[in-house]
Chain A
Amino acid sequence: MKISKDEVKYVAGLARISFDEDEIDKLQSELSAVLEYADALNKVDTEGVAPTEHILPIKNVFRKDEAKESLPLEEVFKNAPDTEAGGFKVPKVIE
């Protein structure tokens, strides 16, 4: 399956990544190759095979509902580029 340049740009937009035209050309062929590889799966007869909902053969891993200590504020903000008045500071969001 080959994907178009517009599709590459669309996916890049969703991921908030910008590319120049050369990179888009390169990604178009690389992503197409990945998708063509995955196309092989379409050739397998899956008649009567239950869909895989999860790759691990495990179910029901639960936690008890107990509140415990959270992180100290200085740890919470350790990777934050900017903070103000106890909040993570980000560029102004207009709702």
Chain B
Amino acid sequence: MDYDIVIGMEIHAELATKSKIFCSCSTEFGAEENTHACPVCLGLPGVLPVINEKVVEYAARAGLALNCEIANFSKMDRKNYFYPDLPKAYQTSQFDLPICTGGTVEIDVDGETKPIGITRIHIEEDAGKLLHESADGTLVDTNRCGVPLIEIVTEPDITSAEEAKIFAEKIRNTLEYTGVSDCKMEEGSIRFDVNLSVKPKGSDTLGTRTEMKNLNSFRALERAIQYEARRQITELKKGHPIIQETRKWDDTKGVSSSLRSKEEAHDYRYFPEPDLVPIVLTDEQIQKFRDELPELPEQKRARYIKEYNLPEYDAGVLTSSKDTARFFEETVALIDKPKAVSNWLMVEIPPHLKEAEITINELPFEPKDLAELIAMIEDGTISGKIAKKVLTEMFKGEKAPKAIVEEKGWAQMSDASELEGIIEKIVEENPKSVADIASGNEKAYGFLTGQVMKATKGQANPKLANEIIRKKVKEKIG
């Protein structure tokens, strides 16, 4: 029997605010343990939390970018549970009146557009971090307690690991473009939870689902889904029921395991947060947020195809990251060769980035340097081959491409009189090749060109060299 896979996702993204959601502690990543803590985020008695206005604004912007309705009235609630990373013993979240509801995100799967429903987006606070480095206990770092999050909840519209990955990338991209989250996977600022069930192909009845939490890379997301779908199908084929449970994905081993032994039935006893007052947004405010939305990835992609005449593939790759798109636009503003700029950004630069383990934001050169490099190819100063060597040098440090070419003496020999002297000598020294050409063997030109390149260490402008060789040989043959 064939099975359908049914997936719903919950995505947690940390918002890019300077301060925490209910207090003025910094949200900066990587500080010494417990140095970003105060009575509010430590959950000490008698404190009064006050919500950060940027959190509301960012959550609304995220909702608008994901085509949601923004609520005129929403409120905060307490979600009660005990865990050592949660000093207050409740997470301040939103229960029945979230800030955004009912959105859609369109993803491209094998050339087809597929809508994925967004059930809701709500505001909440992050928990702290548990460190397991003590021999006889667990250590708690509260720096992350109270860092603002949005949780994006989808409809169960996703049907494969591939779709989940494309969707997750699209969400990451959109949040990054909108500027509401820096979405740094390596810092855990965006995390994915997956609810997955399988059912006989075409059946209307949903199967029992399992949940996997905190998948923190696209690869982990994809592999965890593939594994879990296979596991459920195998169980069902053996006649075993699926147990509703939370499973832990081990990305190193590539397997998931049940957490049910330690899990208790959750009863969060949500109730309205008495210390925080309702959030009311007027239609005018919501409209203002909408008007201020920046150009989103798919709008940008369409514009690149139209305005720069780029192939769809190029437009897709360049707009898949806000920073790549920015670098592209700034370079094209300086040199009107979109396809050439695109090639450098898509083909030549990425391997260097990978090797240096840096992002496009950390490039040791600027758009004007890439523009200068491309301009030198265009005007014949250097060949495409030399340009790649120049790029390698550019990655090493401070020098601009022109200075590198000058210092290394890599400019093509485009001085006709200089080349003529060299070529005349080569033609003199190779009478056999000239005789071959005279008897109709055009291939001998190739040999002569090779000799010229050798004599000039590859720096002769090939087009010019060719012209002069032909001229000199013709003179010789008479």
Contacts and interface: CB of A to CB of B under 8 A. Distances in A.
A77 B142 CA distance: 11
A82 B25 contact: no
Interface in A37-95: 53-56, 58-68, 70-71, 73, 76-77, 79, 82, 84-95
A89 B36 contact: no
A73 B25 CA distance: 13
Contact of B38 (A56, A71, A85, A87): A71
Contacts of B44: 79
Given A54-B75, A63-B52, A93 B130 contact: yes
Contacts of B28: 67
Contacts of B140: 87-90
Interface residues of A, number: 36
Nearest to B262: A94
B134 A60 contact: no
Interface bin, chain B: 35 or more
Contacts of A88: 34, 84, 139-140, 142
B308 to A, nearest CB: 36
Contacts of A85: 33, 133-134, 139
Contacts of A65: 17-19, 52-55
B105 interface: no
Contact of A66 (B24, B35, B133, B262): B24
A93 B299 CA distance: 47
Nearest to A64: B53
Contacts of B30: none
B8 to A, nearest CB: 24
A62 B137 contact: no
Contacts of B54: 65
B360 interface: no
Nearest to A65: B54
Contact of B50 (A14, A55, A62, A67): A62
Interface string B12-45: 0000011100101111100011111111001010
A60 B224 CA distance: 41
- Looking at chain A's contact residues, the main secondary structure is loop
B277 interface: yes
B156 interface: no
B34 A82 contact: no
A61 B35 CA distance: 27
Interface in A1-51: 14, 16
Contacts of B51: 61-63
A89 B133 CA distance: 11
A95 B248 contact: yes
Nearest to A13: B264
A71 B41 CA distance: 11
B19 A59 contact: no
Contacts of B272: 53-54
A86 B34 contact: yes
Given A14-B267, A76-B37, A59 B277 contact: yes
B270 to A, nearest CB: 13
B447 interface: no
B52 A59 contact: no
Contacts of B35: 70, 73
A61 B138 contact: no
Contacts of A63: 19, 22, 24, 50-53
A90 B142 CA distance: 13
B277 A58 contact: yes
A87 B277 contact: no
B53 to A, nearest CB: 4
B42 A66 contact: no
Interface string B231-268: 00000000000000000100000000000001000010
B279 A59 contact: yes
A90 B37 contact: no
B473 to A, nearest CB: 75
Contacts of B294: none
Interface of B: 17-19, 22, 24-28, 32-39, 42, 44, 50-56, 73, 75, 80, 82, 84, 97, 130-134, 136-142, 248, 262, 267, 269, 272, 274, 276-280
Interface of A: 14, 16, 53-56, 58-68, 70-71, 73, 76-77, 79, 82, 84-95
7 contacts: A14-B267, A53-B272, A64-B53, A65-B53, A67-B27, A84-B137, A87-B134
